[in-house]
Amino acid sequence: MTQQTEQFKKVISHAKEYGFVFPSSEIYDGLSAVYDYAQNGAALKNNIREFWWKAMVQLNENIVGIDAAIFMHPTTWKASGHVDAFNDPLIDNKTSKKRYRADVLVEEYVAKIEGKIEKEIEKAAKRFGEAFDEAEFRATNPRVKANQEKADAILKRLGKSLEKEDLADLKALIEELEISCPESGSREWTDVKQFNLMFGTKLGASAETAMDLYLRPETAQGIFVNFLNVQKTGRMKLPFGIAQTGKAFRNEIVARQFIFRMREFEQMEMQFFIAPGTQKEWYEQWKEKRMKWHLALGMGADKYRFHDHEKLAHYADAAADIEFRFPFGFKELEGIHSRTDFDLGSHEKYTGKKLQYFDPERNENYVPYVVETSIGLDRMFLAVFSNSLTEEALEGGASRTVLKFPYALAPNKAAVLPLVKKDGLPELAKTIVEELKWHFQTVYDEKDAVGRRYRRQDALGTPFCITVDHQTLEDQTVTVRERDSMKQERIAIKALKEKLLDQVSMTSLLKKI
């Protein structure tokens, strides 16, 4: 097992064991690529959502939030292009009968080449120490250069065949690269076919009159169809944005990698409506702003990179991903798309209704252009969770597992622990919980020895443990232990709220953006 796979397995089992993520309907053996968030997972997810929502809506005067329905008029999806173009290229392996996304097979092949490059770089960085110049090494090392050229050439060809929908060339590429089925090892492939990812359902009681609907594959269309409603009722002036979080559904073929690719997932999207011709500038601004949001979490700048798209979606004139270093390599976390006037223009055509804005400065009506930021909440959860999960060696040969969540995202901010279950310590500890719970999520924990309770709270990612002991009865002070450093300090009970709130609040995180 590679180190990456081992780390990823640890992420999945920790998520289950500590009440973050469960397979859906597990007592019926689960449902492929569908997951439930458990008590701690739901809290972490809510905190990530709040961080996004407040950064978008609360901190930007010109962005408002909505909550549109999942069901939409079916013509929405014709207008948006999803009925005709929301397809994945599929290929079946004749031996294993397993179905794959043809483009993903090629991308995984390229990821292996990139893995080799990373290894070379890591080795060289160790060898040269401080003097190591990565850019120069990449430009001069013959093996790295050859591998990089190979990876770039494959991605270029993949981009071209996807853009032209040249499915025969996609199959030829898989054959030329001698890609075999991960399951059977066979290279017996069918032709590549297109497959629409939308889930269909029906609205209405009788089979004859029921209307065919789709479960929305993106939340964005709920924003586009409400553009005029929001603009008029909110008296919004361009440029302005509409933000939304909510469920989206895709019948994903390659639904592996835990919550990275799910069939039911949640998006956090923002459509920023702008004047035609200003899209390039806003696109760059939103790329930068979104990266700042990520970096505020303090998970390390080396964990992120931009990936500019070669193949553009049917609606875009520019697009980039913010990729994150997941345990299985760099993968898309968020998309920033310059969507032109495609969506509003298309809804105009299909509805016959004007979706335009009168610009007093230009003294003209036009269909606004849109720059979109779109991030998967579940992917963000996986990024935060996998990055935070740490195994640390302790003195004396012991080790501990810690979820080093950014404080404001942790499910519980503090745990109050009576040293023993007698002498009035539990009662006193409970009064502290009663006081703190008004300000942040605080839990009470009295089971097991205090050392084990520290370990348990570390594994849940609780930033602070507050221990009540016999000295507390005398001087009204407690021991506060910080999760990452394990440092302890004595603090007066009455100073706790101020001291901790300053560090764990969403405000303190938002101020870092």
- Point out which residues bind ligand GAP (CB under 6 A): 218, 220, 250, 252, 261-262, 265, 267, 269, 332-335, 372, 374-376, 378-379
Residue facing ligand GAP at closest CB distance: 376
Q: Are 394 and 400 in contact (CB under 8 A)?
A: yes
Query: Using the 8-state DSSP alphabet, how is residue 397 labeled?
Result: G
Q: How far is the CB of 247 from ligand GAP (least distance, A)?
A: 11
Q: How far is the CB of 71 from ligand GAP (least distance, A)?
A: 17
Q: How far is the CB of 460 from ligand GAP (least distance, A)?
A: 24
What sign does the dihedral 173-178-184-190 (CA atoms) show? Answer: positive
d(C-alpha 79, C-alpha 343), whole Å = 7
Buried b (16+ CB within 10 A) or exposed e, 388-421: bbeeeeeeeeeeeebbbbbbbbbbbbbbbbbbee
Q: How far is the CB of 242 from ligand GAP (least distance, A)?
A: 13
Instruction: Kindly tell me which of 246 and 418 has the beta carbon lying closer to ligand GAP.
Output: 246
167: Cβ contacts below 8 Å, ≥ 6 apart: 89, 102, 161, 191, 192, 193, 194
Enumerate the H helices of 220-263 as residue ranges: 220-224, 227-233
Q: How far is the CB of 195 from ligand GAP (least distance, A)?
A: 14
Instruction: Kindly tell me which of 267 and 467 has the beta carbon lying closer to ligand GAP.
Output: 267
Q: How far is the CB of 378 from ligand GAP (least distance, A)?
A: 5
Instruction: Kindly tell me which of 265 and 454 has the beta carbon lying closer to ligand GAP.
Output: 265
Give the residue from 108, 145, 151 showing the smallest Cα distance to 4.
108
Instruction: Kindly tell me which of 310 and 364 has the beta carbon lying closer to ligand GAP.
Output: 310
Q: Are 472 and 421 in contact (CB under 8 A)?
A: no
Q: How far is the CB of 333 from ligand GAP (least distance, A)?
A: 6
Q: How far is the CB of 369 from ligand GAP (least distance, A)?
A: 15
Query: Using the 8-state DSSP alphabet, how is residue 251 labeled?
Result: -
d(C-alpha 131, C-alpha 501), whole Å = 42
d(C-alpha 345, C-alpha 262), whole Å = 31
Q: How far is the CB of 219 from ligand GAP (least distance, A)?
A: 7
Instruction: Kindly tell me which of 154 and 333 has the beta carbon lying closer to ligand GAP.
Output: 333
Radius of gyration of the chain from its Cα atoms, rounded to whole angstroms:
26
Instruction: Kindly tell me which of 89 and 376 has the beta carbon lying closer to ligand GAP.
Output: 376
Give the residue from 134, 110, 106 showing the smallest Cα distance to 120.
134
d(C-alpha 42, C-alpha 227), whole Å = 31
Instruction: Kindly tell me which of 222 and 463 has the beta carbon lying closer to ligand GAP.
Output: 222
Instruction: Kindly tell me which of 383 and 468 has the beta carbon lying closer to ligand GAP.
Output: 383
Instruction: Kindly tell me which of 220 and 478 has the beta carbon lying closer to ligand GAP.
Output: 220
Q: How far is the CB of 343 from ligand GAP (least distance, A)?
A: 10
Total number of residues shown for the chain: 513
User: At 489, is the secondary structure helix, strand, or coil?
Assistant: strand
Q: How far is CA 175 from CA 94, 106, 192, in A?
A: 14, 10, 12
d(C-alpha 116, C-alpha 452), whole Å = 41
- Amino acid occupying residue 189: W
Instruction: Kindly tell me which of 68 and 375 has the beta carbon lying closer to ligand GAP.
Output: 375
Q: How far is CA 38 from CA 15, 20, 22, 176, in A?
A: 9, 5, 6, 45
Instruction: Kindly tell me which of 217 and 461 has the beta carbon lying closer to ligand GAP.
Output: 217
Instruction: Kindly tell me which of 18 and 260 has the beta carbon lying closer to ligand GAP.
Output: 260
148's enclosing H/E stretch is: helix 142-163
Q: How far is the CB of 379 from ligand GAP (least distance, A)?
A: 4
d(C-alpha 194, C-alpha 83), whole Å = 12
Does residue 277 come out as left (phi exceeding 0), alpha (psi in the -120 to 50 range) or beta? left
Q: How far is the CB of 70 from ligand GAP (least distance, A)?
A: 14
User: At 218, is the secondary structure helix, strand, or coil?
Assistant: coil
d(C-alpha 409, C-alpha 386), whole Å = 14
Q: How far is the CB of 450 from ligand GAP (least distance, A)?
A: 40
d(C-alpha 371, C-alpha 39), whole Å = 35
Give the residue from 68, 110, 370 showing the smallest Cα distance to 225.
68
